[in-house]
Amino acid sequence: VIGVVIGKTDVRSFPDRKNIGNERYTFNFTIRDSPTYFINVQSWGREEYIRSLSESFRVGDCVTIENPLIQSKEVEREEKFNPVTPSCYKLLLSENHSVVKTSPCYNTDTRLLSLLHLPVKDPQDYYSLGDIVANGQSLHGRVLNVLAAVMSVSK
């Protein structure tokens, strides 16, 4: 699978249920290869492998994923913590079998660069900050998609 990375989480650790006292590490990212299709990628493993993999690319990089495991996603659980994707599958990376290679998008396919700036949500499925301010009480407790722009960044 070849695509541009459009989102990425930080590395997290969890207690390993099989090996009490040990930690398992994970991070997720989302890749896109067309205006319509993008998929979440999940990786689990030893700390060294996960940190090295996470540091090997960033959002905007093109990646080639070899030998991922394809799994059905658990929609309710997984889409609570990952971007909602049009696929009913996710890719799972294995330290022993999968390989992720990075390359500049312009070397891979210039069309991938334009995908980085396309929204992943339906343009009719969001609230503006003005809508939230005006209707804050009625929106309390709901999960919303927000459309906003950064006006400035400072310390």
Per-residue pLDDT reduced to its tens digit, 45-70? 899 999 999 999 999 889 999 999 99
CATH number at residue 77: 2.40.50.140
Tell me if 31 is assigned to some domain: yes
**What residues make up the domain containing 55?**
2-115
Q: Could you tell me which of 96, 61, 66 has the C-alpha nearest to residue 1?
A: 66
Tell me if 124 is assigned to some domain: no
Tell me if 91 is assigned to some domain: yes
Q: For position 86, what pLDDT does the model report?
A: 82
Tell me if 80 is assigned to some domain: yes
pLDDT digits (tens, 9 = 90+) for 4-29: 999 999 999 988 888 888 888 999 99
Percent of the chain with pLDDT over 70: 90
Torsion angle defined by CA atoms of residues 89, 90, 96 and 99, in that order, rounded to the nearest 10 degrees: 110
Class of residue 11 by CB neighbours under 10 A (exposed 0-12, middle 13-18, buried 19+) = middle
Mean per-residue pLDDT, 119-130:
77
Tell me if 150 is assigned to some domain: no
* Residue 125 banded pLDDT, cuts 50, 70, 90: confident
Tell me if 129 is assigned to some domain: no
Residues with Cβ < 8 Å from 24, sequence gap 6 or more? 13, 14, 15, 16, 44, 45
Tell me if 126 is assigned to some domain: no
Tokens of 116: 């980085």
In the chain, how many domains are there?
Answer: 1
Give yes or no for a contact between 59 and 8, defined as CB atoms under 8 angstroms apart: yes
Tell me if 21 is assigned to some domain: yes
* Residue 108 banded pLDDT, cuts 50, 70, 90: low
